[in-house]
A and B are shown apart, each in its own frame.
Chain A
Amino acid sequence: MSSLKRRGFTAMLGASALAAPGIIGAARAAAPLKVGFVYVGPVGDFGWSYQHDIARKQAQAALGGAIETSFVENVPEAPECQAVFESLVASGHKLIFGTSFGYMNYMVKVAAKHPDVMFEHCTGYKQAKNLAIYDIRYYQGRYIQGVIAGHMSKTGKIGYVASVPIPEVVQGMDAVLLGMRSVNPKAQLKFIMVDSWYDPGKEGDAAKALIDQGCDVLTQHTDSPAPLQVAASRNIPAFGEATDMIKFAPKNQLTADVNEWGGYYIKRCKAALAGTWKTENTWGGFADGMLAMAPYTNMPDSVAAAAKQAVADISSGKNKIFVGPLTDQTGKIFLPAGQVMDDNTLTGLQTLVQGIDGKLS
């Protein structure tokens, strides 16, 4: 049923190459640092949790005997998760990553009870002395999708299989449309909320409905490859939600945004080992190496070049994406010309830009 399950992409980062085993040789004498990961889905969801687990393995491989990682999967965003965090603490874990939004209030409670344990919460907004928060600027990748879609779409309409109307999804839809309009000022976006992060059947049905209504490029903000598979069976181009989704649509996937948690986890584990860990609010994107695009396939070289250029512009800070003037669906300007939306406003974004067809409930 509907839940706030988060999804994500597969990290491809060859993280093991990042760490020279010798560096952490000194730490080896001591007992390894126990690092715990808490996942909302099964590691086999081939999406969000799978993604974090790959990064966990990268961290383990990179830091070798200095850390000992373990994970708990399928932990609901409910009071039970508190027991899971407690038992991780009880079994000696000193650095604990909670990777779903709904853990927020429970992590705040547990962190307050255990000031000697370091906690990290992914996608939340409540920070504490021993509770850091981290997330990725997914909208940057969405913008690139928009740029590509602008070139590839003949009808000028992209379909967006959306999950639930949270700011991250709104940012995603706005960014896709802004990217698309940077190429084709008349471009439009249609979306369907499936009220679930993971329901392959329903996601696929939504994809079909969008195609039936004239969308000739498809993207998704849900966890399963089902929309991409539908795109492949209808032979229209689409964007993947996990790296090896190319396997699910070898002739139709254009690219996919790839979340790179691995580098972040390695960095934070190292800080914990060195005793320099402190609470932070990390919201990383292309520039920080936390987001990357999968290989550009099934598109002309010129389009791939345009996409690469757009990535470069975002990385260098030349293109900040949410830059005024931005017009909402009623035609009112909600970000005046020349202004850049600040992160605080962006974090709580609930406004759809003009050109998006459909209302948030």
Chain B
Amino acid sequence: MILSMVTTLAMSVVAASTPLLIAASGELVAEKSGVLNLGVEGMMLVGAIAGFATAHHSGSAMLGVGVAALAGIGIAMIFAMLSLSFLANQVATGLALTIFGHGFAALLGAGYVGISAPVLHPIAIPLLSAIPVLGPVLFDENILVYFAFIMLAVIAWFLNKTHAGLILRAVGDSHDAAHAMGYPVLRIRYAAVAFGGAMAGIAGAYFSLFYSPLWSQDLTAGRGWIALALVVFSAWRPLWLLVGAYLFGGITFFSLYVQGLGISVPSPLVSALPYVGTVLVLVLISRDARRIRLNQPACLGKYFHATA
């Protein structure tokens, strides 16, 4: 009984945390290259509708995920062009992307309300899924849960162990130096932003094809912003991203769970917990300025204009 309770609880937390993890790891890569893209929420919504529409017409949820990634890249390119080629302010461009993405997705989605599409089903991994508790929680999930873990590992490896990752970080830390060494700063940043867009698109598809499988205008309900907060929370370290995403997913879920137990706390105040928690953790993490400086891309949000 207790075991099965722990299992279902843990599964709920995994389900709530996965889209945050996917979107945040994409943003992490973009930020490591020195680009701050505040348009995550907008990219997620466009990905959500693109994925949903594709799955509906093609009958394949997997194809939907793929198209969502492409749609995320497409809309991220508007941001990249403006902020990288036209040297526009990244904060403002990112906000514009969110506002535009929200409207654009609503326009595209007008005809898809109230209809259903194929959903992503859990894929059990043989043997491993039979382990008590851990098995169902970690090894009998839908493909995007595995994807989130795998991508996180790949990103951690890429950033820390590969030459390409080193160059990406160099671009984020000092674009002038990287440029002087002959690296194509802009091309690398374009690629990083595209990757962020793809991941945000996939995170959006997670909502429309699995988490609450339907299309509606406010489907992601602000989770793109949370993903952004998580990147800072993690101090740009992939492992801490995992901790942050699960912490946030956990707090969100438990604030609801506690209510069901009949504990008498005003529910709006409980609902505020995840946000207050994010601020507190942000403070704890940021307090050590040296540690932040160690990991924060020094050129985050700055313009790069090749002079030579």
Residue positions of A touching B, CB distance < 8 A = 1-2, 42, 44-46, 50, 159, 190-196, 198-206, 208-213, 224-226, 229, 242, 244, 247-248, 357-359, 361
Contacts and interface: CB of A to CB of B under 8 A. Distances in A.
Which A-B residue pairs are the 5 nearest by beta carbons? A200-B212, A361-B266, A44-B113, A226-B212, A359-B264
A201 B268 contact: no
B213 A229 contact: yes
Contacts of B216: 44-46, 198, 200, 224
Interface string B234-276: 0000000000000000001100110111101111110100000
Given A210-B260, A213-B260, A229 B212 contact: yes
Contacts of B85: none
26 contacts: A2-B268, A44-B109, A46-B214, A190-B260, A191-B259, A194-B256, A196-B221, A199-B218, A199-B221, A200-B214, A201-B212, A201-B223, A202-B252, A206-B260, A208-B15, A208-B253, A212-B12, A213-B260, A213-B261, A224-B214, A225-B212, A229-B212, A358-B260, A358-B262, A359-B264, A361-B265
B211 interface: yes
B5 interface: yes
A353 to B, nearest CB: 15
A212 B9 contact: yes
B116 A248 contact: yes
Given A42-B217, A212-B5, A204 B259 contact: no
Given A44-B217, A200-B221, A212-B257, A205 B16 contact: yes
Interface footprint category on B: 35 or more
Contacts of A208: 8, 12, 15, 253
Contact of B211 (A195, A201, A225, A359): A201
Nearest to B259: A192
Interface string B106-129: 100110011110000000000000
Contacts of A202: 221, 252, 256
A193 B218 contact: no
A237 B267 CA distance: 26
Nearest to B214: A225
Given A209-B257, A212-B5, 7 more contacts: A50-B114, A192-B256, A194-B256, A200-B221, A204-B211, A226-B212, A361-B266
Interface in B83-97: none
A198 B256 CA distance: 15
Interface string B159-199: 00000000000000000000000000000000000000000
Contacts of A361: 265-269
A51 B214 CA distance: 17
A201 B20 CA distance: 12
A200 B45 CA distance: 14
A208 B8 CA distance: 8
Nearest to B113: A44
B116 A247 contact: yes
A204 B261 contact: no
B259 to A, nearest CB: 5
Contacts of A248: 116, 214
B229 interface: no
B256 A205 contact: yes
Contacts of A224: 212, 214, 216
B79 interface: no
A208 B5 CA distance: 11
B219 interface: yes
Contacts of B12: 205, 208-209, 212
B207 interface: yes
B16 A201 contact: yes
| Most interface-central of B218, B252, B265 (chain A CB within 10 A) | B218
A205 B267 contact: no
A192 B265 CA distance: 12
A244 B207 CA distance: 20
Contacts of B217: 42, 44-45
Contacts of A203: 212
A122 to B, nearest CB: 21
| Most interface-central of A201, A211, A357 (chain B CB within 10 A) | A201
Nearest to A213: B260
A83 B125 CA distance: 58
B16 to A, nearest CB: 6
Given A44-B216, A201-B211, A205-B252, A244 B114 contact: yes
